[in-house]
Amino acid sequence: MIRRVILSPVACLLLVITAILVLGYSSAQAQAPGPAPPTPYLVFSTYLGGTTPFASGYSPLTFAQNAACDAQGNTYVTGATQVSNLPVLNAYQPNPAAGSTMSAFVAKYNPAGQPLWCTYLGGDNQSMGVGVAAMPAGGVAVVGITTSDASFPTVNAYQGQNNGNSDYFVTVYDANGNITYSTYLGGSGVEGQLPPYADDQNSGNCVAVDAQGLVYIAGMTASSDFHVTANALQPNLAGTMNACLCILNPSQSGAASLVYSSFLGGDHDTQGHSVAVNAFGSLITVAGFTTSSKDFPTTANAYRSTAPPGGFAPNCSNGFVTQIQSSQPGSQSSQYTMLYSTYLGANSSTARDDVYGMTLDPTGLIVATGRTQSAGFPMTTGGPSIFNSLQAGTTGDEPYLVKINPSLTGQASLVYATFLGGGGSSTEPAGSFCTSVGVDALGTAYVGGETSASGVQYVASVQPVAAPQQFPYTQNALFTALQDTRDSIFMQISPGGATLGYSTYLGGQDNTSRTYGLAVDPAGNVVLSGLTFSANFPLKNPAQPWPGITGVQNAFVTKFSTQVVNQGAFLLLLLDD
């Protein structure tokens, strides 16, 4: 039988320490008053890819765009591939469609990282998975873009065929990998991006799901005939490219499945990168970037409700964050109200700011990340901040993290804003940026992205200081140095936004690794997904070792945990015969 042993507090502490040492990880040293958070450690890390291109003249590449976790701790990943020998398992679509040159894929892993199913998702041309969100009853909603026509799998579709050059698709799987709903979504113009599709043209998670199982999609459309509903806040395309917000009910079919659809934009380009929704479906938040100098819809309580004076110079932009209220979530007769909508970036015509990743914290506040090249990016003054200014000579992208309270007005709505470091210099101009963000139940934030910057050890400061041009790693990092020319990064930020709890490079040798997706499961474990060119990306309990072709993109899926006590809990159970 199993006998539970009651131990003294000292003995328990010794057992936890022993468990940490057995696992080969050390706890963080406190750099500021108060206990240090547990050091994140690898639960699993695996490649996902293949070696055989399914179209002549194409590279055997695979990349992951986003990840999601369900209530049971399972992980879902989507992206795109050009290989015919992905490690498919229990696949709804076991092979790429005839005529395809790129196919989306969807994979599900159990909490230990073992594959449960893996399938292609595509038609007779190009398809790429972009966003993924777990369904409340199990399964997953996947959003992507496709140029495929009739061979793309549709089930109970609102729109049964491709209406233009490139349309969105929305596909819902049950927990066993069976498609229960799948539709095209687009007009006669371009949605998402024009082919050829590439990993670096989509950032942020463009899909979210509420507790009812409604699916929320944010993106970009250049189609004046994009499907909009009668209750749309913005029924017409403004400018050449607008963001869009759509809500689908996959338990319905055909016209009944489209709950809401609207444009969102102004006189120039606007793109939605991320969407988040509260459990009830009553508060929907969209984030992205805009170059609109007029007509972009903002609210009076915005942090900044007007574009920079003189508008935007070429290749310049601001981020935006917009929150909308639904009066009857799930109903086609619901009314929608814009509660908060703001420009987010420097108040300058030469601003270079984008919001990529966005989520909600446990209290419903908005947490967003991205990249900026603007020294004037808004920082909180007198409040929490890791780094509150940029050093002179910073020339590359600088990652940031902001928290917004949309119930407040103006400057008060910016709860905190902080630079994260690694912005580069004249000798390292590319810098760093973050593409994804997640928040755990305690309010701790996690971001993923990439950097080309050399490192400097982070030391917490009571007073905010200028962001280093080097990437700030913590003493307990998995890697404290850049592994090659460009690495993925993974950072943990305290709930108040004032300190880095953990920061590490993540990559191997042979060029580039990039994080695109990040998800936090209910236990506080963090999953990263992206791509790597490396043959020696760090692995742990891999479902698939390196596929075997040097210098080619493969996807990676990596899970970190901070649950050190849980990992050592088995020591509190002794076997007794």
pLDDT given at position 562: 87
Cα–Cα dist 368/315, whole Å? 22
Name the phi and psi angles at 458, rounded to 5.
-75, 135
In a domain, 330, yes or no: yes
Specify the pTM: 0.92
pLDDT given at position 29: 26
How many independent structural domains does the chain possess? 1
Cα–Cα dist 521/18, whole Å? 26
Give the chain's end-to-end CA distance (angstroms, integer).
6
Q: Which residue has the tokens 């903002």?
A: 298
In a domain, 298, yes or no: yes
Cα–Cα dist 403/194, whole Å? 33
pLDDT given at position 453: 94
Amino acid, res. 337: T
SS3 303: coil
Q: Which of 372, 368, 284, 275 is nearest to 324 (CA)?
A: 284
pLDDT given at position 35: 64
Residue 294 burial (CB count, 10 A): 12
SS3 358: strand
Computed on alpha carbons and rounded to an integer, the radius of gyration of the chain in Å comes to 23
In a domain, 370, yes or no: no
N residues, the chain: 577
Amino acid, res. 153: P
Q: Which of 184, 73, 165 is nearest to 121 (CA)?
A: 184
Q: Which of 80, 49, 105, 113 is nearest to 554 (CA)?
A: 49
355 contacts 317 by C-beta, under 8 angstroms? no
Strand ranges for 62-166 from DSSP E: 62-69, 75-81, 103-109, 115-121, 127-134, 140-146
Name the phi and psi angles at 564, rounded to 5.
-65, -40
SS3 571: helix
Name the phi and psi angles at 10, rounded to 5.
-65, -45
User: b vs e for 227-255, b when ≥16 Cβ sit within 10 Å of the residue's Cβ?
Assistant: bbbebbbbeebbbebbbbbbbbbbebeee
pLDDT given at position 568: 40
Cα–Cα dist 430/503, whole Å? 19
Q: Which of 138, 123, 131 is nearest to 177 (CA)?
A: 138
Q: What does 204-256 look like in DSSP terms, one character per residue?
A: S--EEE-TT--EEEEEEE--TT----TT-SS-S--SS-EEEEEEE-TTS-GGG
Give the structural domain span for 289.
211-277+279-347
In a domain, 504, yes or no: no
pLDDT given at position 16: 34
- What is the mean pLDDT, run by run of 10 residues, along the chain of 577 residues? 30 33 28 65 98 94 98 98 98 97 98 98 97 97 95 97 94 98 97 92 92 98 97 96 98 98 97 98 98 96 96 96 98 98 97 97 98 94 85 89 98 96 84 97 97 95 89 97 96 95 94 95 97 97 96 97 56 31
483 contacts 451 by C-beta, under 8 angstroms? no
pLDDT given at position 466: 94
In a domain, 513, yes or no: no
pLDDT given at position 564: 58
Q: Which residue has the tokens 């928040």?
A: 439
